[in-house]
Chains A and B, each alone.
Chain A
């Protein structure tokens, strides 16, 4: 019966989405270089990467006129 197959698929979908949603798999993991599961919200994209124990701003971020290396308030 096809409903048994549908139930099996629904269980897989439910387990995956509940796990991913409640454990926040799409959130950015601080102090971690690999961010394969990060899923930005509201078009808010990372402006750098975490590398060798520090934050390295991306070229997009560096192009803003107020940029002084290290982001806002750096050196203040």
Chain B
């Protein structure tokens, strides 16, 4: 029985859900950009606040919002080696406190010495942020107070502290959006690695030799057959080997046979010595009709090849167009 072979690049086996997944990732990126730009600035100024002399800002109106919340962002501007505790306080129009939050800020520097080398370091944590929303419209005022200010030896300081303060309304919490972007991106990456294992495993055989084969009932129309040949060689294996892959049907007739060049990658030890080599051949087939097919791979040169494995999966999918060898028996 004769057969006809066609090789063409095909997107018929691409999985549309993979693109849906990355569309969701794209939506998260868009939402993140939109969320970061959302909101109006109510207060943006730089002030000086002395310890025990709180600074109150002009009142502003708060109201329930469907999207976003109010946000007060404060950054203390202090010299190096300072410890600072400051408080943000919200009061209603009666002057009653309705919320307050503390920030323990610091800015420290020093010198490091290690193995005869030295340098300087500087680290700080000076920013505070407070997001709030309300169930009823009302005017509120924001107060900023320095509760404690000292140098890193603990000596209290009376000098005023500069703060950059911004109050915005309708601000979106991008922390959730970042988490969503990371989570969906990880799923997208995992999905792209999952295609190698997609479909039903019909042949899997490993032999400590340079020739391996297996037979199974597979194929049929619209059925992508994914074939892997894994070659593991020793340190003396050449950088390129050839793999002759053949497929015979249930009558013993060869329906496909071709020789492929495969690059063997070297695996090195910590000392840089080559310990083993590894190469992989991946081929896609569409075999008609559904039949019992034998897949056989012969690696040459055979010496220095430790083991060869063949793995065949049917009903496989891809995430991008691939070159498919279509073999059709002619009746």
Chain A residues in the interface with B (C-beta under 8 A): 1-4, 6-7, 9-11, 13-14, 16-18, 20-32, 39-48, 50, 54-55, 57, 60-61, 64-67, 70-74
**A-B residue pair count with CB separations less than 8 angstroms:** 198
5 closest A-B pairs (Cβ-Cβ)? Answer: A17-B180, A72-B145, A72-B54, A41-B129, A24-B69
B166-181 Cβ-contact flags toward A at 8 Å (1 or 0) = 0000011111110110
Interface residues on B, range: 35 or more
A44/B184 contact (C-beta < 8 A), A18-B31, A66-B52 known: no
What are the residues of chain B within 8 A of A57 when measuring CB–CB? 100
Is B56 close to A, CB under 8 A? yes
Rounded to whole angstroms, the CA-CA distance of A41 and B73 in the bound complex is 9
Find residues 26-75 in chain B having any chain A CB closer than 8 Å to their own CB.
27-28, 31, 35, 51-52, 54, 56, 62, 66-70
Q: Is the CB of B191 within 8 A of A2?
A: yes
Q: How far is the CB of A29 from chain B (nearest CB, A)?
A: 6
Q: Is the CB of B176 within 8 A of A64?
A: no
Apart from A6-B188, A45-B102: 13 A-B pairs, beta carbons within 8 A: A14-B27, A22-B67, A24-B68, A24-B69, A26-B175, A28-B130, A31-B98, A41-B130, A44-B102, A48-B99, A55-B99, A71-B89, A71-B100
Contact of B102 among A10, A20, A61 (CB under 8 A): A61
Is B5 close to A, CB under 8 A? no
Q: How far is the CB of B315 from chain A (nearest CB, A)?
A: 10
- 22 residue pairs of the A-B complex, CB under 8 angstroms, read A1-B15, A3-B15, A3-B191, A3-B194, A6-B188, A7-B17, A10-B21, A10-B187, A21-B172, A21-B173, A22-B31, A29-B133, A30-B62, A30-B90, A31-B98, A31-B135, A42-B103, A44-B88, A44-B129, A55-B96, A66-B148, A71-B143
What are the residues of chain B within 8 A of A31 when measuring CB–CB? 98, 134-136
Rounded to whole angstroms, the CA-CA distance of A29 and B87 in the bound complex is 18
Q: Is the CB of A26 within 8 A of B176?
A: yes
What are the residues of chain A within 8 A of B198 when measuring CB–CB? 1-2
Rounded to whole angstroms, the CA-CA distance of A11 and B188 in the bound complex is 12
Q: Is the CB of A3 within 8 A of B180?
A: no
Chain B residues in the interface with A (C-beta under 8 A): 15, 17-18, 20-21, 24-25, 27-28, 31, 35, 51-52, 54, 56, 62, 66-70, 85, 87-90, 96-104, 125, 127-136, 140, 143, 145, 147-148, 171-177, 179-180, 183-184, 187-188, 190-191, 194, 198, 317
